[in-house]
Structure 1
Amino acid sequence: MKKIIYPLQLEYISSFETQENALIKKIERFARENKVPILSKDSSKFLEQLIISLRPQKVLEIGTAIAYSAIKISRNLSASGKLYTIEKSNDSIRIANKFINEAKLKNKINLLEGNAQKIIPKLKVKFDFIFLDADKEDYKKLFELSLTLLKKGGVIFIDNLLWHGFAASKKVPKKYISSTKHIRSFNKIFMKTTSLNTSILPIGDGIGLGIKIK
């Protein structure tokens, strides 16, 4: 993954990182060894800070993967807080459940198995916070569906909006051309959504942050 900020600055910031617990390190190692994409460390730190600050009661995550972000979110929720997380890959679900059990967070996490585009319309819950990190070609539809479930004043947090730096690049490798087109198209929609106060932040792979204002 290309860096959005210069390596020297990133190295300096990383020098202040505190040690994570053994399970988080284990998940990060599993992700590296098995080439599973997870939220970058700086993005996950920002996500945790938002959860700590906002204290949401109901959180929706679209794209569980191996539960790295799910665990980081859930461990910072209040006693009554709950995370609903959606994943369609059977392999990912199996691994995610394993890590969730190890984290002893089963009571905080409701892992919904299946296609998010089919699951979201059936949810009867309004959310204070939504985290979108799924297949890029699905971003537009998932954003549209999930926005109806976001409370006024709620926050939507979206990963990969700079997409390895290619969202702003004239030269895009062949294997990224299609996904880059999807991200560029989505970014225009996201930034023009009048029901949100939006920004794209140069954190990690680019974080989209929207606050529902109407």
Structure 2
Amino acid sequence: MSGKTKESVNRIVKPNQIDYLLSLLNEDDELIFEMESFAHKNKIPILDKLSLQFLLTLTKSKQVENILEIGMAIGYSTIQIAGVLSPSAKVEAIEKSENNLQLAEKFISKSGSKNKIVIYKGDALHILPTLQTKYDLIFLDADKEDYESILNQSVGLLKSNGVLFVDNLLWHGHTAASRVPSKYKKSTEQIRKFNRLFMSHPELSSTILTVGDGIGFGVKK
């Protein structure tokens, strides 16, 4: 990467520029604000707002009918994805944490989108082989240690020209850092390995974008 390119990237990700971009987004509705506050208070990870906006725009532009979310947490992104789908479309979501599932079901019941959401309870590694649908878009935001194992299964479930959308590929900046805090070393190495596989996958045309915590964007050939 040339010095000029590095400068361009640094300018893009400066905090004041992120704040500016966030200021352009529409105000959250009451339920989404409640979920954001709950997640922040309880230290539950949810999708970065700029990454979410990108995902929602992509979902609308591709007129997605079948979308799979791997790792729904409390349903924050699930509800908002459902909100931009056509009446006939569905979002299917996998979550293995019983606590997260209970919270997600509570929030989904308030959302008015319950009829567009299908929940699979359990480990994605066990559920993915049982799915028969071919998806327009798969959103991967599961446990990081599972990313590598999930990759090929996800690609196999995509339609031709379907999109694999992956969160956390910069992992708080650790994947690009020379020194990584000890508690993040294992997960950082796992994501670095995933990134190499993702970028060289023979069935994907892939890139990693400096949006949010690093978004992987792969289109099935």
Task: State whether TM-score is above 0.5.
Answer: yes
User: Where does 1:82-97 land on structure 2 (aligned, <5 Å)?
Assistant: 82-97=90-105
RMSD: 0.9
Pairs aligned (count): 210
- Structure 1 runs (4+) greater than 4 angstroms displaced: none
Q: How far off is 1:105 after superposition?
A: 1.2
2:45 equivalent to 1:52: no
- Cα contact 2:154–2:164 (8 A) shared by 1: no
Greater helix proportion: 2
Unaligned runs of 5+ residues in structure 2 are 1-11
Q: Which residue of 2 aligns with 1:7?
A: 15
Match 1:68 to one of 73, 76, 80: 76
**Counterpart of 2:210 in structure 1: which amino acid?**
P
What is the rounded CA distance, in whole Å, between the counterparts of 1:123 and 1:13 in structure 2? 38
Q: Determine the C-alpha separation between the residues in 1 that align with 2:105 and 2:54.
A: 24
* TM score, norm. by length of structure 1: 0.96
* Alignment correspondent of 2:114: 106
Identical aligned residues as a percent:
48
User: 1:212 maps to which residue?
Assistant: 220
Q: 1:164 aligns with which of 151, 157, 172?
A: 172
d(CA) in 2 for partners of 1:60, 1:206: 20
Counterpart position of 2:4:
none
Q: What do residues 25-77 of structure 1 show as CA deviations (whole Å, max 9, x unaligned)?
A: 01000000000000001001111100111111110100010000101111111
CA offset at residue 14 of structure 1?
2.2
In structure 2, how many angstroms separate the alpha carbons of the residues matched to 1:69 and 1:11? Answer: 20
TM-score (norm 2): 0.93
Distance 1:26 1:77 in 2: 22
Corresponding residue number in structure 1 for 2:43: 35
Q: CA–CA distance in 2 between the matches of 1:18 and 1:61?
A: 24
Q: Structure 2 counterpart of 1:45, which letter?
A: Q
Q: Does 1:176 align with 2:184?
A: yes
Which secondary structure does the structure 2 equivalent of 1:198 belong to? strand
Deviations 1:127-162, CA, capped at 9 Å, x for gaps? 110000011110011111111110001011000000
Partners of 2:142 and 2:19 in 1: CA distance: 28
Q: Structure 2 CA distance, aligned partners of 1:78 and 1:196?
A: 27
Distance in 2, matches of 1:178 and 1:79, equals: 42
Could you tell me how far apart the structure 1 residues matched to 2:37 and 2:81 are?
A: 19
Distance 1:191 1:110 in 2: 30
Higher relative contact order, structure no. (Cα contacts within 8 Å, ≥ 6 residues apart): 1
1:196 to 197, 204, 221: 204
